Amino acid sequence: MTTTAAQSVPAVSSHTPEQTPTAESTPQRQNLLGMSREQMEAFFLAIGEKKFRASQMMKWIHHEGCDDFAAMTNLSKPLREKLAKVAEIRGPGVVYEGASNDGTRKWVLEVEDGSYVETVLIPADNGKRRTLCVSSQVGCSLDCSFCSTGKQGFQRNLTAAEIIGQVWVAQRSVGPRRDSGNRPVTNVVMMGMGEPLLNYDNVVPAMKLMLDDNGYGLSKRRVTLSTSGVVPMIDKLGDDIDVSLAISCMRPTMNYALNWCRLTASIISAA
Ligand code: SF4
């Protein structure tokens, strides 16, 4: 959900970070950034290492913002060298970073195929709360009349790595938690470009990383998915992950809005 614009270029490559190849079969290095705890454990088992390496790696990536295996000093040198051959930690590229007088920070990020998405960090409560607004798709298929993202049409879903990569970039930019003692990002709202419930299979794993103690360790009250009202997926979301839900009553037309709000009210009263 957003009212921001974005640019894109035609797709030139594809990337599937959720697969877990072995060291022998890996045609290209595997991006570890978007891996859930389970995927990371499977990755380490597949390359002949112990499962507990997954926790170490997740802390380096998500707590420290590290993308260099050579700097991971609690891993043995042979393991670091092996990882450099079969894996990588690759976040979105920062095309633009800007800050306004009120402390709001904005990043324009280049993702895998050269498309651009936006991420915004909004301070509140005298800087105690820093809420990151994260995108879930390049473009959007819903075309709400007030929204410039909808005008560009839908291009593709972001991968889990591209979604969590927005949190990773913001945290690296603001500074790791150990530097200030504070969390660089205290809250996340899935309210940037795209309708998150139409990219369910990538959004849910990324939000699990936001909640995971080895990821960003945010409480469920501090991670919010905002939807325009993809009703069938709302029930599924409740079964799969415990996060906050925000439902936008801004709809493409006023009649649509009124009908949708009546439908929502009837669902809630029947529950
Ligand atoms: S659902 Fe899509 S078109 Fe509607 S406000 Fe959100 S991003 Fe824009």
Q: Which atom of ligand 1 approaches the CA of 192 most closely?
A: 7
Q: Which atom of ligand 1 approaches the CA of 149 most closely?
A: 8
Q: Give tens-digit pLDDT for 9-20.
A: 222 223 333 344
**pLDDT band at residue 183 under the 50/70/90 scheme:** confident
- The answer to whether 209 and 215 are in contact (CB under 8 A) is yes
Q: Whose CA is nearest to atom 4 of ligand 1?
A: 144
pLDDT at 4 over 90: no
| Å from CA of 117 to ligand 1 middle | 14
Measure the CA–CA gap between 163 and 116, rounded to whole angstroms.
12
Q: Give tens-digit pLDDT for 73-126.
A: 999 999 999 999 999 999 999 999 999 999 999 999 999 999 999 999 999 998
| Å from CA of 202 to ligand 1 middle | 18
Q: Which atom of ligand 1 approaches the CA of 142 most closely?
A: 3
pLDDT at 246 over 90: yes
| Mean pLDDT to the nearest integer, 16-32 | 58
| Å from CA of 250 to ligand 1 middle | 9
| Å from CA of 63 to ligand 1 middle | 31
Q: Which atom of ligand 1 approaches the CA of 140 most closely?
A: 2
**pLDDT band at residue 256 under the 50/70/90 scheme:** low
Pocket lined around ligand 1, Cβ cut-off 6 Å:
1-2, 140, 142-144, 147, 149-150, 193-195, 228
Side by side, the strands of the sheet bearing 129-133 are: 93-99, 105-110, 116-124, 129-133, 187-190, 223-227, 244-247
| Mean pLDDT to the nearest integer, 15-35 | 62
Q: Which of 133, 137, 149, 227 to mutate to test the pocket of ligand 1 (most atoms within 8 A of CB)?
A: 149
Provide the pLDDT for residue 229.
84
Q: Which atom of ligand 1 approaches the CA of 137 most closely?
A: 7
Report phi then psi at 220, rounded to 5. -60, -25
Provide the pLDDT for residue 38.
95
Provide the pLDDT for residue 146.
83
**pLDDT band at residue 25 under the 50/70/90 scheme:** very low
| Å from CA of 154 to ligand 1 middle | 10
Q: pTM here?
A: 0.83
Q: Which atom of ligand 1 approaches the CA of 252 most closely?
A: 4
Q: Which of 117, 141, 142, 247 to mutate to test the pocket of ligand 1 (most atoms within 8 A of CB)?
A: 142
pLDDT at 263 over 60: no
Measure the CA–CA gap between 106 and 97, rounded to whole angstroms.
6
Q: Which of 217-221, 223-227, 228-232 bottoms out in mean pLDDT, i.e. has the lowest?
A: 228-232
Higher pLDDT, 178 or 200: 200
Residue 74 falls in which region: left (phi positive, over 0), alpha (psi -120 to 50) or beta:
alpha
Higher pLDDT, 130 or 255: 130
Give the DSSP letter of residue 158: P
Exposed e or buried b per residue across 54-63, where buried means at least 16 C-beta atoms within 10 angstroms of its C-beta: bbbbbbbbbb
| Mean pLDDT to the nearest integer, 140-164 | 92
Provide the pLDDT for residue 242.
94
Q: Give tens-digit pLDDT for 62-80.
A: 999 999 999 999 999 999 9
Q: Provide DSSP, 86-124.
A: HEE----EEEEEEE-TTS-EEEEEE-TTS-EEEEEEEEE
| Å from CA of 142 to ligand 1 middle | 6
Chain-wide mean pLDDT for the chain?
85
| Å from CA of 194 to ligand 1 middle | 6
**pLDDT band at residue 2 under the 50/70/90 scheme:** low
